[in-house]
């Protein structure tokens, strides 16, 4: 039974047919049913399997198509998928090659458009009403279809040039051969080349016909839509012109109504002559109008005017004064009344009392489907995760960085220390104090713009000034510089490397922090520990700090090793525990620090040290005999 002849491949159509696929050395080539659709080439054992079982699929956007001989060709994506295929004839093979190349070009184009739309995110211009939005959507869809057809024409043109060159070479060879045994073979090759050229030309003709038909169908509709937009623009311009004329007329009428008369027939002021009135006193009196109480000329009352009907800018006031021409002769009615009547009561000023709120409202409880947001963000950096605004706190990262100076008194005390080891204790306590406000603050600060700065000037009350600047956007990085009158300078560069692990979020601060003291020339440096946000998906959010910090004095060689213990449900230690030992350049311990990073820190001087039992990790512990511990830092109560 003869099989139907496959149609000529058309750009954008689904192409189906039988091909022989190489399976293994035992079975060799086996007959399979192949389907080409939407840039994907799939195959089945029979046509009946199309509804339930697919034996394999390869994406043509990343595939390579190579021709081996007159009937064989190979499709490979550079990985584990490689299809060795064979057609029944060279003409059939060329039909498949043409269809595959067209589908690959279209798949590559669609993938590029998808990447561009994801990176650029172009804003859709606002439309007036639902009809405008529908028209805009229809026009965009038509433009995309036409662009697709143009790309198909370009692909077909490349194929025609390719096959036309091959046909031209065959014709040239045919002209140069002698009539003999080679004549039949050359004629057969030319016939096949001509057939391939005809197939490709038919595809080109079909694509041109589709493009022309689509363009003609939408030409009249676009002209009508364009004329409608022109008419609407003309009507809008006429409406705006009428509104401008009405506004100008109302403004002139308003000015004429608010100008007070040039003279008043007041019995009290009659002997002094006429009094010149002034339309506007100053910008500060814009909300008050002064009226003369005609029944009792000895009393005046200030009545607040409605701001909705009485509001003038500074330029309006100056213009009004120039029109009246009596700036120098104007007199305040209240002052004149009090001068003529010394025993008259003071004017009653009725001003609205501005009341400010005393507490911030509670955070609204918004329902969020976190999994729909987080499922595609596992393994990404925090700066590249599109987080909802409900997760943010109304501060920028630069402001959060400036909060490290909340306990600046520790550096002030350190600047007064004569002993470098004792000074190290205060610097170490300052490093721990920067984490005190993070225990309850699960909100993410906003990312600053590139070049954005935050200046904090507390020179009068605290004696220091601070400046932060965002110096890099991707990856985000900030620089911080603070100078104090007490003799210390702090500078730090912070860049965040974050990873979302599904159940928790890890934030690893990069960069170093430097602290210099002017009097002793001691130079300290350290780095921050890792911050972990738990229960991202389910449960209540909570934050933990874990890791180790080495505070180093580069001048004397002193060192303080701080250890932030991670929280554990099975540990008997105090939660959020921090321990540290201050040693000199020879490694001898002098001070011990202990406490928690969310409450307080204490330090005590070491009198004697000895080796103890082995710990859980096999290391020998050191036992210190110390004096009574002193509190070096305690967290301030929250407002």
Structure tokens at 456: 């904090």
Confidence of residue 262 (pLDDT cuts 50, 70, 90): very low
Q: How far apart, in whole angstroms, are the C-alpha atoms of residue 76 and residue 64?
A: 5
Mean local confidence (pLDDT), 299-303: 41
- State whether 345 and 375 are in the same domain: no
Sorted by sequence, the CB contacts under 8 Å of residue 25 that are 6+ apart come out as none
Mean local confidence (pLDDT), 293-309: 43
Q: Side-chain half-sphere of 221: how many Cα atoms within 13 Å? A: 10
- State whether 344 and 397 are in the same domain: no
Does the N-terminal peptide bond of residue 475 adopt cis geometry, omega within 30 degrees of 0? yes
Closest CA to 483 of 434, 546, 551, 415: 415
- State whether 336 and 476 are in the same domain: no
Residue where a domain stops, chosen among 197, 217, 237: 217
Residue 271, pLDDT above cutoff 90: no
The alpha carbon of residue 170 and the mean position of all alpha carbons in its chain are separated, in whole angstroms, by 59
Q: How far apart, in whole angstroms, are the C-alpha atoms of residue 135 and residue 141?
A: 10
Sorted by sequence, the CB contacts under 8 Å of residue 254 that are 6+ apart come out as none
Residue where a domain stops, chosen among 168, 192, 217: 217
Within a domain: 137: no
For 357, the 3-state DSSP assignment is: coil
For 288, the 3-state DSSP assignment is: strand
For 502, the 3-state DSSP assignment is: coil
Q: Which of 187-201, 211-225, 481-495 has the highest mean pLDDT?
A: 481-495
- Whether 529 and 545 have beta carbons less than 8 Å apart is answered as yes
Q: How far apart, in whole angstroms, are the C-alpha atoms of residue 546 and residue 529?
A: 6
Within a domain: 226: no
- State whether 620 and 481 are in the same domain: yes
533 versus 616: the higher-pLDDT residue is 533
- Rounded to 5 degrees, what are φ and ψ at 618? 90, 0
- Whether 160 and 197 have beta carbons less than 8 Å apart is answered as yes
Within a domain: 192: yes
For the stretch 591-614, pLDDT in tens is: 999 999 999 999 999 998 887 666
Q: What pLDDT was estimated at residue 609?
A: 81
- Whether 442 and 533 have beta carbons less than 8 Å apart is answered as yes
For the stretch 358-367, pLDDT in tens is: 877 776 666 5
Sorted by sequence, the CB contacts under 8 Å of residue 405 that are 6+ apart come out as 456, 464, 466, 482, 490
Structure tokens at 547: 């890791």
Please calculate the CA angle 5-6-7 and round it to the nearest 5 degrees. Answer: 115
Q: How far apart, in whole angstroms, are the C-alpha atoms of residue 626 and residue 608?
A: 7
Least confident window among 264-273, 391-400, 419-428, 451-460: 264-273
Mean local confidence (pLDDT), 519-547: 90
- Rounded to 5 degrees, what are φ and ψ at 232? -65, -40
Structure tokens at 253: 């009428």
- State whether 160 and 201 are in the same domain: yes
Q: What pLDDT was estimated at residue 336?
A: 45
Residue where a domain stops, chosen among 169, 188, 217: 217
Sign of CA dihedral 115, 120, 121, 127: negative
Where are the strands (E) in 379-522, listed by range?
A: 392-396, 444-446, 453-458, 464-472, 477-484, 488-500, 504-510, 513-517
Q: How far apart, in whole angstroms, are the C-alpha atoms of residue 615 and residue 622?
A: 10
Structure tokens at 361: 């409202």
Residue 575, pLDDT above cutoff 60: yes
- Rounded to 5 degrees, what are φ and ψ at 95? -60, -45
Mean local confidence (pLDDT), 486-510: 88
Give the H or E element holding residue 31: strand 28-37
Domain that holds residue 343: 283-349
Token pair 């009403």 in the structure block, residue: 129
Q: How far apart, in whole angstroms, are the C-alpha atoms of residue 99 and residue 36?
A: 8
- State whether 317 and 382 are in the same domain: no
For the stretch 131-149, pLDDT in tens is: 445 556 666 777 777 777 7
CATH number at residue 545: 2.40.160.120
CATH number at residue 67: 2.30.29.30
Q: How far apart, in whole angstroms, are the C-alpha atoms of residue 260 and residue 253?
A: 14
Q: How many domains does the chain have?
A: 3
- State whether 343 and 394 are in the same domain: no
Confidence of residue 99 (pLDDT cuts 50, 70, 90): confident
Find residue 634's DSSP bridge partners: 600
């Amino acid at each position: 039974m003869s099989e139907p002849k496959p149609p000529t491949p058309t750009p954008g159509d689904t192409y189906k047919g039988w091909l022989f696929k190489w399976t293994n050395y035992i079975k060799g080539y086996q007959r399979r049913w192949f389907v080409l659709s939407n840039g994907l080439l799939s195959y089945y054992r029979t046509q009946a399997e199309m509804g339930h079982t697919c034996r394999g699929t390869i994406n043509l956007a990343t595939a390579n198509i190579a021709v081996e001989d007159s009937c064989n060709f190979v499709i490979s994506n550079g990985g584990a998928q490689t299809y060795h295929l064979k057609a029944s004839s060279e003409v059939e093979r060329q039909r498949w090659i043409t269809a595959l190349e067209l589908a690959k070009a279209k798949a590559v184009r669609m993938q590029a458009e998808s990447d561009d739309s994801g990176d650029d995110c172009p804003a859709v211009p606002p439309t007036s009403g639902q009809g405008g939005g529908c028209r805009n959507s229809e026009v965009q869809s038509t433009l995309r279809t036409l662009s697709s057809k143009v790309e198909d024409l370009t692909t077909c043109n490349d194929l025609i040039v390719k096959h036309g060159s091959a046909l031209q070479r065959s014709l040239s060879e045919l002209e140069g051969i002698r009539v003999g045994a080679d004549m039949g073979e050359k004629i057969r090759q030319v016939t096949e080349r001509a057939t391939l050229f005809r197939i490709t030309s038919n595809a080109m003709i079909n694509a041109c016909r589709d493009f022309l038909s689509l363009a003609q169908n939408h030409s009249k509709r676009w002209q009508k839509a364009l004329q409608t937009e022109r008419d609407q623009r003309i009507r809008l311009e006429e409406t705006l012109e009428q509104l401008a004329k009405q506004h100008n007329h109302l403004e002139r009428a308003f000015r004429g109504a608010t100008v007070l008369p040039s003279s008043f027939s007041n019995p009290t002021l009659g002997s002094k002559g006429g009094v010149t009135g002034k339309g506007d006193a100053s910008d500060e009196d814009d909300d008050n109008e002064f009226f003369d109480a005609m029944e009792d000329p000895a009393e005046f009352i200030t009545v607040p005017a409605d701001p909705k009907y009485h509001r003038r800018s500074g330029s309006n006031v100056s213009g009004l004064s120039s029109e009246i021409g009596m700036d120098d002769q104007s007199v305040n009615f209240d002052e004149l009344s009090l001068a003529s009547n010394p025993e008259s009561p003071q004017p009653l000023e009725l001003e609205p009392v501005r009341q400010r709120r005393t507490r911030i409202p509670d955070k609204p409880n918004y329902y969020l489907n976190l999994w729909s947001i987080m499922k595609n963000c596992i393994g990404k950096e925090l700066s590249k995760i599109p987080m909802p605004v409900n997760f943010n706190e109304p501060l920028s990262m630069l402001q959060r960085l400036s909060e490290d100076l909340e306990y600046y008194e520790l550096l002030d005390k350190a600047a007064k220390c004569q002993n470098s080891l004792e000074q190290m204790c205060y610097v170490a306590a300052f490093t721990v104090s920067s984490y005190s406000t993070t225990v309850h603050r699960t909100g993410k600060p906003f990312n600053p713009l590139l070049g954005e700065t935050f200046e904090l000037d507390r020179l009068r009350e605290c004696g220091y000034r601070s400046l932060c600047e965002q110096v890099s956007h991707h990856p985000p990085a900030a620089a911080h510089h603070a100078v104090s009158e007490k003799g210390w300078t702090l500078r730090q560069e912070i860049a965040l490397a974050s990873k979302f692990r599904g159940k928790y979020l890890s934030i690893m601060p990069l960069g170093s922090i430097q602290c210099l003291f002017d009097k002793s020339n001691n130079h300290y440096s350290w780095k921050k520990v890792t911050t972990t946000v738990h229960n991202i998906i389910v449960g209540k959010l909570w934050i933990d700090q874990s890791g180790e910090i080495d505070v180093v004095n580069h001048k004397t060689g002193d060192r303080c090793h701080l250890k932030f213990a991670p929280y554990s449900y099975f540990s008997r230690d105090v939660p959020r525990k921090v321990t540290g030992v201050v040693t000199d350049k020879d490694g001898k311990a002098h001070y011990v620090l202990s406490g928690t990073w969310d409450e307080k820190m204490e330090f005590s001087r070491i009198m004697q040290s000895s080796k103890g039992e082995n710990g859980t990790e096999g290391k020998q512990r050191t036992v210190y005999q110390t004096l009574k511990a002193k509190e070096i830092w305690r967290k301030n109560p929250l407002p």
